[in-house]
Amino acid sequence: MKTTLYSVLLVATLGALTSCSRTQAPPPPATPEVATVTVTKQPILLTTELPGRTSPFRIAEIRPQVNGLIQKRLFTEGSDVKEGQPLYQIDPAPFEAALANSKAALGRAEANLPAVQVRVNRYQQALADKAVSQQDYDDASAALKQAQADIDYYKAMVDTARINLGYALVVSPISGRIGKSAVTDGAIVTAYQPLALTSIQQLDPIYVDVPQSTTELLRLQRRLEEGRLTGGGTNYSKVQLILADGSQYPLEGTLQFRDVSVDPTTASVILRMVFPNPNGVLLPGMFVRTVVKEGVNQQAILVPQQAVTRDPKGNPLALVVNAENKVEQRKLELDRAIGDQWLITSGLSPGDHVIVEGMQKVRPGAAAKAVPFVAGPKQGEKPASALQPASNTN
């Protein structure tokens, strides 16, 4: 009897609980929180990183200007030489003899001149008295002119012989670092031979030649014309250099000129830069990267890269919390990555709240609660070469 009573009470209690659970409504879901950044405009200095190679500021290939035998090499291979420093001594004996011969011929011609001059003067007086014929006077005058021409000729021969004797000592036309010698003592050389005796390269300063594609060049010109970039100051001609090991060259260079012709094989133009190289760190042929300043974007919009996603076609997208606390999807146009941020060309406006974290909690049209995004610590991050405050471009 007691068991039956307990069973009835248990069934009644369960029924009451079931009835209560059916009548109570579930609580409304909480509005998800998403971390957002507020879009603002800021001036930034845009730069482009371009690869290039170093080349000597000046290079001189040393060739003999006279024929002869190399008596002695007068320099140390791989050393620095000064302009006018002797490099090779060619046997001067033949040129000394030629100079002496020319001087002797000049002396003979000069010694003959007074006698011819006196004869002309005597014939001129005798012609007035009709003591000599006109033909005799004309012959004497022609002989005087020939004697004077002989003197001029032998003077030129003396100058030529003296120049050739000077060429017997081969000197450096520029200051720089000299390479290895292609000849040794005792070698026979000829004037202006195809094989250079050695070469000298001036390395301070040094050139850096950088190819820039015509596509980038046209894009830059279009930005300047549209007013999206401002430039033209002398500070924009300064260039930074990154070496092959990733270290930054301590000295700034100068953008000297942009070539006026396009290489048809690469569709690029050459930018030539000049860098000081007092310690000889830069050597000809080294691969380097240059950071070239384009100009200042006065109204740049930057958002963290993690705030940008892509659709199946690869188009960049971002989620924004609007004034009604609803999520909107925006299509973006990206310019470039600057550090850990994207430079946005279109799709966002100042004041927009772009979702950085919590995108997986919401979808377009859903309600969301925006909270400020707090970036975590970034360890080992290097400053992006393309992002510099415009106020530092003095």
- What pLDDT does residue 5 have? 46
Q: pLDDT per residue over 271-290, tens digit each?
A: 888 999 998 899 999 999 98
* The Cα angle at residue 101 between residues 96 and 107, in degrees rounded to 5: 125
Whole-model pTM over 0.85: no
Half-sphere exposure at residue 327, Cβ-oriented, CA atoms within 13 angstroms: 25
Q: pLDDT per residue over 199-224, tens digit each?
A: 999 998 999 998 888 877 777 666 66
| Better-scored residue on pLDDT, 297 or 330 | 330
CATH architecture group of domain 93-167: Orthogonal Bundle (1.10)
Q: What residue has token string 């060309």?
A: 345
Half-sphere exposure at residue 132, Cβ-oriented, CA atoms within 13 angstroms: 16
- Residue 374's pLDDT band (boundaries 50, 70, 90)? confident
Omega of the bond prior to 94 within 30 degrees of 0, cis? no
Report the amino acid identity of residue 201.
Q
- What pLDDT does residue 96 have? 95
Q: pLDDT per residue over 101-125, tens digit each?
A: 999 999 998 998 888 888 888 888 8
What DSSP state is assigned to residue 367? B
Q: Which residues are paired to 37 by β-bridges?
A: 354
Superfamily covering domain 34-55+203-375+384-392: Efflux pump adaptor protein, beta barrel domain (2.40.30.170)
Domain ranges of the chain: 34-55+203-375+384-392, 64-91+175-195, 93-167
Flag whether pLDDT at 156 surpasses 60. Answer: yes
Q: Determine contact, residues 253/273, Cβ cutoff 8 Å.
A: yes
Q: Determine contact, residues 106/189, Cβ cutoff 8 Å.
A: no
The span from the first CA to the last CA of the chain, in angstroms, equals 101
Distance CA 298, CA 220 (A): 15
Q: pLDDT per residue over 296-311, tens digit each?
A: 777 888 889 888 999 8
- Residue 379's pLDDT band (boundaries 50, 70, 90)? very low
CATH C-level class of 64-91+175-195: mainly beta
Q: pLDDT per residue over 50-99, tens digit each?
A: 889 999 999 999 999 999 999 999 999 999 999 999 999 999 999 999 99
Q: Determine the 3-state secondary structure of 109 from DSSP.
A: helix
